Amino acid sequence: MRKIGIVGAGAVGAACAMALGLRRSADEVILVNRTPAKSIGIATDMTYGAAMGDVTAIRSGNIADLTGCSAILLTAGINEKTGGATDRSDKEGRLKLLTANAKIYRELVPAMVAAAPNAVIIVVTDPPDPLTDVARAVAGHERVFGTGTFLDSLRFQTHLARHFGVAPTAVDALVLGEHGTTSVFLWSSARIAGNPVETLLDRPAETKEQIERDVRQANITIIEGIGASQYGIGIVSARIVEAVLRDEKAVLPVSSPQKAFGGSSLSLPSVIGAAGVERVLMPQMNEKEEAALRASAQHIADASARLKQ
């Protein structure tokens, strides 16, 4: 029985449940929310659609019902719109949500670990990088990592694909570091059919600036339209769960502690298996990109340090 928990039934939690169900990522999904009526409503609604075929069972429950889960998606907390993190000129970005969401994590994670001590915990809530460190400290084990820049990397690939008129799956490109304003785009290693993207750009500086801006502000554009950035991260979260459940050894840019960059959690290409992040594969970077990654790590560390003041 492949059982998955989702703690937090807001827009992102609901999107995660829908993605897990449609992708048949697991046999059973337990949806937990501080207001049970909400998780009951979401689970009931999805169940009626699931009656058409043999799909994932989505049920509402409480923390105790997480017993037996192989992985738990932690989506609880205030979102960007509620937390006032939608100013395009604000360099803090999602980090504005850290204090409030860290408090919520410190309350929830011990109960989650008590119910499902062997589960891998996947941090989805913004900002996922410092919250991964909070969750790891409270959980007392290392089977904790964040969704990190997986979605950012997909956005990067999508915008490059549009620019060159190819399918996103034909683009090999990564965004690393913080899932936030200091994310690092690895232009030097971006490829299409083995060709360096930088050699294919007709107006490199202008195109790079536009694509980076579109990717970094994609969440705000989405929020301005529908109130929450939810569907992309829901699909990404389901894909990460699959890598854990199947012990795939898939290499994904997710967030975990990086000693080489000061110890704070940030995203690097990581081998994902049944126990979470098994190891990190350091990509090739030029000097500018490595400096940017170190600056991104410091930005995260500074935010985490403010939690202790």
Residues 6+ apart with CB under 8 A from 227: 11, 81
CB 254 within 8 A of CB 145: yes
Nearest residue to 69 (alpha-carbon basis) of 59, 84, 83, 82: 59
Can you say whether the dihedral through the CA atoms of 291, 156, 20, 55 is positive or negative? Answer: negative
Nearest residue to 256 (alpha-carbon basis) of 284, 277, 242, 233: 277
- Phi/psi-derived region of residue 169, left when phi > 0, alpha when psi is between -120 and 50, beta in every other case: alpha
Distance, C-alpha 159 to centroid of its chain: 19
- Which tokens go with 119? 């589960």
CB 122 within 8 A of CB 145: yes
- Phi/psi-derived region of residue 208, left when phi > 0, alpha when psi is between -120 and 50, beta in every other case: alpha
Can you say whether the dihedral through the CA atoms of 11, 17, 21, 25 is positive or negative? Answer: positive
Cβ neighbours around 203 below 10 Å, total: 9
CB 161 within 8 A of CB 108: no
Catalytic residue, chosen from 141, 163, 179, 299, is 179
Q: Which long-range contacts (CB under 8 A, 24 or more apart) does 304-308 make?
A: 304/98, 304/130, 304/133, 304/264, 306/98, 306/99, 307/98, 307/99, 307/102, 307/130, 307/134
Which is it for strands 120-123 and 144-146: parallel, antiparallel or unpaired?
parallel
Distance, C-alpha 236 to centroid of its chain: 7
Q: Is 299 a catalytic residue?
A: no
Q: Which residues does the annotation mark as catalytic? A: 179
